[in-house]
Amino acid sequence: MAKRKSQPNESKKDIIKTLIKEYGIQSAGDIQEALKDLLGETLKEMLQSEMTEHLGYDEYERSENKNSRNGTKSKTVRSNYGNLEIDIPQDRESSFEPKIIGKRKKDLYGVEEKIIAMYARGLSTRQISEQVEDIYGFDVSEGFISNITDRLLPQIKEWQQRPLSEIYPVVFIDAIHYSVRIEGVVKKAAVYVVLGINMDGIKEVLGLYVGDNESSKYWLSVLNELKNRGVRDIFIVCADGLSGIKESIETSFPKTEYQLCIVHLIRNTLKYVRDKEKRNLAIDLKSIYHAPNEQVAYNNLDNIANKWKDKYPNAMKRWHKNWDAICPIFKFSQSLRKIIYTTNAIESLNSTYRRLNRSRSVFPNDISLLKALYLSTLEATKKWDKPVNNWGKVLSELEIFYEDRISE
């Protein structure tokens, strides 16, 4: 049975009739203007009540309190009905702290938080400005939006410099590319994501690094920064063949093993293979990284290279050339290998970052990109409070392989 809608009581009807007469309401737009005016008057009365409570006496009462009312100060606030001019009561001692509209608050309905949320989804300042005008009915400039998001910069700096754990069993380094306007020219900028798994098996984004060319010097500065933030040891660094990364790891963390990312290696191998043959070669490649030990894996590599050399003579050259950076995984169990070679940990994070490319084709500068990446990181890592799969088993294995380093 359908629920009967409640009818307005007589008191409400009288109020509605009075409003219609008072404001000459003839359209939905008139209703909006009336509500806007009522909101302003309501806020004014509430502020006066707050001042009375603060001073301890009504406006025209006598009191022994030395503090007293001292006029008002006009303030523009944003609301669902547009901008409102509100007179904020003042007191002689300037000790009045209004609750309904704080001293630095200019937003009644969380518009600033919504702007930041839209920025996190990759919307440009122009798109956000249009959205705010459509939804809330007032205009905000692109400069205003930039100013709001710029408030994140101290927070980002603090996040970038926060202390880290002493030991990270596994650290992933990967790159994502964005279009950024640099000195008036649109260029591709690389963002390097450093993701760690700590001793509790919890994933952490250790840092985001925008731009700069890959080199031993660059990677050494990144790794030294991690050390300066408290990282004493990393057991395994998993990365694609980034220029200079191997040499930098050997210098900064000499005991750390460099593991070439198997997923990237497979993608690069299949890149130039005909579509109808990719599946068969991918199955063959699995026999390498699923092999029970290094010797079997290398024999399988040779067999695969011979099998495909007539069609794709260069397909397996990278595997042979980088074998010293591929082979570390073969001493580990499948549980630990899976964490390293699947890179699921960082791929899911990267999918969040890639959404920014779909929302915005070009970022106006590096700072704008960093702000969007930081907000995306906060969103992506909200649920990172549980260890990765089979962490108990993996940790037991790590404690055997790296016993001396864990106990240092």
The pTM of the whole model exceeds 0.95? no
- The Cα–Cα gap between 77 and 74 comes to 10
SS3 state of residue 240: coil
- The Cα–Cα gap between 210 and 199 comes to 27
One-character DSSP codes across 286-321 = HHHHT-SSHHHHHHHHHHHHHHHTTT-TTTTHHHHH
pLDDT score at 205: 95
pLDDT score at 200: 94
pLDDT score at 10: 67
CA-based angle 267:271:274, to the nearest 5?
125
Six-digit token string for 53: 């409570």
Measured CA to CA in angstroms, residue 22 lies from 10, 30, 83, 84, 93 at distances of: 18, 11, 22, 20, 39
Decide if 198 contacts 226 (C-beta within 8 A).
Answer: no
Contacts 24+ apart (CB under 8 A), 199-203: 199/165, 199/167, 199/168, 199/169, 199/395, 199/406, 200/387, 200/391, 201/387, 201/388, 201/391, 201/394, 201/395, 202/384, 202/385, 202/386, 202/387, 203/345, 203/349, 203/381, 203/384, 203/388
pLDDT score at 76: 78
pLDDT score at 111: 64
pLDDT score at 11: 62
- pLDDT average per 10 residues of sequence, the chain (408 residues): 55 69 75 69 74 81 80 77 78 81 64 70 74 67 75 88 95 88 85 93 92 77 94 93 87 93 89 91 93 95 94 92 92 89 72 78 85 87 88 92 82
CA-based angle 322:325:326, to the nearest 5?
85
